Homo-oligomer: A and B are copies of this chain.
Amino acid sequence: MEVQDADLKVKTLSPELLRKMDAYWHAANYLSVGQIYLYGNPLLKEKLTLEHIKPRLLGHWGTTPGLNFIYVHLNRVIKQYDLNIIYVTGPGHGGPGLVANTYLEGTYSEVYPDIGEDENGMQKLFKQFSFPGGIPSHVAPETPGSINEGGELGYSLVHAFGAVFDNPYLIAACVVGDGEAETGALATSWHSNKFLNPVHDGAVLPILHLNGYKIANPTILARIPKEELEQLFRGHGYNPYFVEGDDPDTMHELLAATLDIVVEEIRAIQSDARVYGFKKRPIWPMIIFRTPKGWTGPKVVDGLQIEGTWRAHQVPLAELATKPEHVQMLETWMKSYKPELLFDENGKLIPELAELAPKENRRMGANPSANGGSLLINLKMPDFKDHAVAVPTPGNITAEATSVMGEFLKDVMKANWHERNFRIFGPDETASNRLSHLFDITGRTSTAEIFEGDNHLSPDGRVMEVLSEHLCQGWLEGYLLTGRHGLFSCYEAFIHIVDSMFNQHAKWLKVSRKLPWRKPIASLNYLLTSHVWRQDHNGNSHQDPGFLDVVANKTAEIVRIYLPPDANTLLSVTDHCLRSRDYINVIVAGKQPEMQWLDMDAAIKHCTAGLGIWKWASNDEGFEPDVVMACAGDVPTLETIAAVQILREQLPELKVRVINVVDLMTLQPESEHPHGLNDKDFDILFTKDKPIIFAFHGYPLLIHRLTYRRTNHKNLHVRGYKGEGTTTTPFDMVVLNDLDRFHLVSDVIDRLPGLGAKGAYTKQYLRDKLLDHKAYIESHGEDMPEILNWKWNLSPSTNLV
């Protein structure tokens, strides 16, 4: 659809308002150019010389004037209709524009009082941009009003949708760059409208900013016929409005008229749904905004076309030190905005322009939704102990850990039902991951067509399932960044799909934690299940525990990794994670029925410590152990306990200490991570010189890199995933990676040469067991009865010491 200027019977903007808005846009453009170029002479009161200009010119001009244009127009509709809008900046390289606009509206000086609304403040504003000790060149946590870092492209639209779920009065105006539109994450984000319910969610207004070029090339969407472009967005379920041109006055009229129509459409959709209830997925409006790249900047430099080409991407005038005429061109360019008509003598925006901005929290830079911590309401936490699995003695009963967790999550969902501030996200695997208790009280979200017989599918569902880890992650990030709570449950191997989004969120938290005005937000919680050791049925492609390595690279202030060995520890860890702030918590837990070890009291104590000796599994009390058997993760714990049992039977004189690690970061030195155990206690637990056989859930090297500074590291032998796996039996998976009970016992014997013949005899016994195993599975296709029906025998009375 297109609003033609000629068709507008009544102009939307009075000539006076148009003139002012254009002037306001000039002011934003002026401040944007100033940030990129100047560190002195901010109002150009003196003749511009090289010494006013930064030696390193860093920033992206190309997208900025368009971003500024949209900002000014959103300001108008916010004021006119009293709208609650946040501005999500996909082309976040246009950082100067957002800084400029939040400065013009007054937010910037409130947040950063040393950057005042005067000449001195403007000088500081200019200097700090992309300057050592200053602010980044992109839209970033430091930018008021932002929930989206604009460096790694592709996540704006998914963040915008995450922001408006359960935020009925919020509109996320999301500028999507035509460059970022080529990314996978963005390409699938358009489908988020099939999950948005106008009754209780807000609205996203996508504005595709078609300025035609990336760094060196046109964008795809700028080079397909308009008809295809329109079909593409209609096919995605939107009603696209085209706003295209390069004449500012005409464009002001077009965008203003279009925004009026679009706001009306959004309001009509919402009021209809809120009065009459949800009937069918609405066709939401969107805007396709086509303007020249580097609009209003230098048209031609050194004989080359700049405005409207890829050459406008970064700094249009770059060689100021060597080309004096470029300094002159810069001055001409900046003066073309007529700063003397925009700012008073002291550098303050003149009142008739200042009044164009909304007031207080309606300013997009000050919108509380973009500083989610300021709106955060603590989750009401039901008592997780209500779901305790009764564990009379260790190794006595089995349970499905994530199923128990699902009961608890259901209670959390219920307790916060009326706040509507808790959602679960995952790629079509909530039930497969055994969290289906949630479906007792809510459904999976869908506003697309629903058929009879669909499985807990509802436009009101609070479980967000879509076969895109990008969407799950991005929605959750947007939801958290606007002050709510959630959890992402994912097949362990496929969480690597969002490694990069995880990285960027961790970077965001690292910076935002240091900004006093950004209030803490709820942690990003992952449940990684259907994990490497129980993907024996899907095989190789589904087996990868390497996300933990990506996580462990991130700053210790932010990341937490938990490997609860059973259901009660999982409950305790989950409770802790849901209450925490500003972290990324990774919980790894299996979904299959597994043996249970700790009753609830023991589980809480164990999780609080993060690691500890399991006395009931050890037989070294009062002695120095001969060997330490450490474990982290449910399957490695199972194999370790089974190995200990074999040791008791075969080599009863051996003194074995069993240590289980729930909180992986306890292994790091205290100096490296706040959860790190101090060296003294570590030495007491792990001894200074006894062999340690460590059975680990993930890649063994992770344990080495966490512990390499510990006294006894030289005696540490780690078993874990070494890349072996296929479609096979569950026990064969651990055998293939030498993590099984037989290999673990063999590892102990190898490190205790003093066992002599007895050790050799036992090793033969273990080899035979492994041969039995191999022969059995290859003929029967399932694990041998000895493993399937393992006779646990761990009551204290069997402690032979």
Q: Which residues of A contact B (CB under 8 A)?
A: 39, 54-56, 58, 127, 130-138, 140, 149-154, 179-180, 182-188, 191, 194, 214-220, 223-225, 228-237, 305, 309-310, 428-432, 444, 446, 448-451, 453-455, 457, 465-471, 493-494, 496-497, 499-500, 503-504, 507, 510-511, 537-542, 544, 546, 549-550, 552-555, 699, 701-702, 704-705, 708, 713, 723, 726-729, 732, 777-778, 780-782
Contacts and interface: CB of A to CB of B under 8 A. Distances in A.
A224 B723 CA distance: 41
A241 B705 CA distance: 55
Contact of A228 (B235, B428, B457): B235
A137 B39 contact: no
A183 B539 contact: no
A21 to B, nearest CB: 31
Contacts of A781: 39, 54-56, 127, 131-132
A56 B219 contact: no
Contacts of A503: 493, 496, 544, 546
A130 B430 CA distance: 24
Contacts of A235: 228-236
Contacts of A56: 537, 729, 781-782
Given A179-B428, A704-B705, A507 B540 contact: yes
Question: Which 5 A/B pairs are nearest by Cβ-Cβ distance?
Answer: A151-B541, A232-B235, A184-B184, A231-B235, A187-B188
A91 to B, nearest CB: 11
A49 to B, nearest CB: 16
A560 to B, nearest CB: 16
17 contacts: A56-B537, A127-B781, A133-B728, A134-B727, A137-B727, A183-B188, A183-B467, A183-B470, A184-B187, A215-B429, A217-B465, A219-B467, A220-B448, A230-B235, A231-B231, A233-B235, A708-B713
Nearest to A502: B496
Contact of A234 (B214, B231, B541): B231
B188 A184 contact: yes
A546 B541 contact: no
Contacts of A191: 182, 187, 220
Nearest to A510: B723
B497 A182 contact: no
A134 B781 CA distance: 10
A746 B780 CA distance: 64
Given A136-B726, A727-B136, A216 B183 contact: no
B541 A180 contact: no
A493 B454 contact: no
Contacts of A428: 179, 214-217
A55 B467 contact: no
Contacts of A544: 503
A117 B306 CA distance: 68
A699 B553 contact: yes
A500 B65 CA distance: 37
B507 A541 contact: yes
A725 to B, nearest CB: 9
Contacts of A782: 55-56
B151 A224 contact: no
A496 B499 contact: yes
Contacts of A723: 510, 553-555
B708 A220 contact: no
For the complex formed by this chain, how many copies does it contain in all? 2
Contacts of A151: 538-542
A220 B196 CA distance: 13
A729 B132 contact: yes
Contact of A215 (B234, B432, B537, B552): B432
B136 A218 contact: no
A355 B387 CA distance: 62
A503 B725 CA distance: 14
B500 A496 contact: yes
A791 B778 CA distance: 69
Contacts of A186: 184, 188
A494 B180 CA distance: 13
A232 B236 contact: yes
Given A215-B431, A218-B448, A224-B237, 4 more contacts: A140-B541, A215-B432, A216-B455, A217-B446
B493 A152 contact: yes
A510 B736 CA distance: 15
A186 B469 CA distance: 12
A704 B707 CA distance: 10
Nearest to A181: B467
Contacts of A234: 228, 231, 235
Contacts of A726: 136
A230 B778 CA distance: 49
A152 B492 CA distance: 12
Contact of A131 (B188, B220, B727): B727
Contacts of A540: 136, 140, 149, 151, 507, 511
Contact of A217 (B230, B237, B455, B778): B455
A179 B228 contact: no
Contacts of A54: 781
Contacts of A549: 549-550, 553
B546 A132 contact: no
Nearest to A281: B224
Contacts of A152: 493-494, 497, 541-542
A679 to B, nearest CB: 15
B131 A468 contact: no
A457 B223 CA distance: 12
Contacts of A510: 723
* Most chain B beta carbons < 10 A, residue from A219, A468, A549, A708: A468
Nearest to A713: B708
Given A183-B184, A466-B182, A133 B550 contact: no
Contact of A446 (B223, B309, B497): B223
A429 to B, nearest CB: 7
Nearest to A706: B701
A726 B151 CA distance: 12
A132 B774 CA distance: 9
A194 B58 CA distance: 32
A552 B553 CA distance: 13
A6 B131 CA distance: 71
A309 B451 CA distance: 11
Contact of A220 (B180, B194, B214, B453): B194
Contacts of A432: 215-216
Contacts of A470: 183-184
Contacts of A183: 184, 188, 467-470, 497
B231 A727 contact: no
A175 to B, nearest CB: 16
Contacts of A218: 446, 448, 450-451, 454, 457
A152 B186 CA distance: 19
Nearest to A465: B217
A474 to B, nearest CB: 10
A710 B725 CA distance: 29
A504 B496 CA distance: 10
* Most chain B beta carbons < 10 A, residue from A186, A194, A552, A726: A726
Nearest to A444: B217
Nearest to A700: B705
A58 B537 contact: yes
A782 B552 CA distance: 33
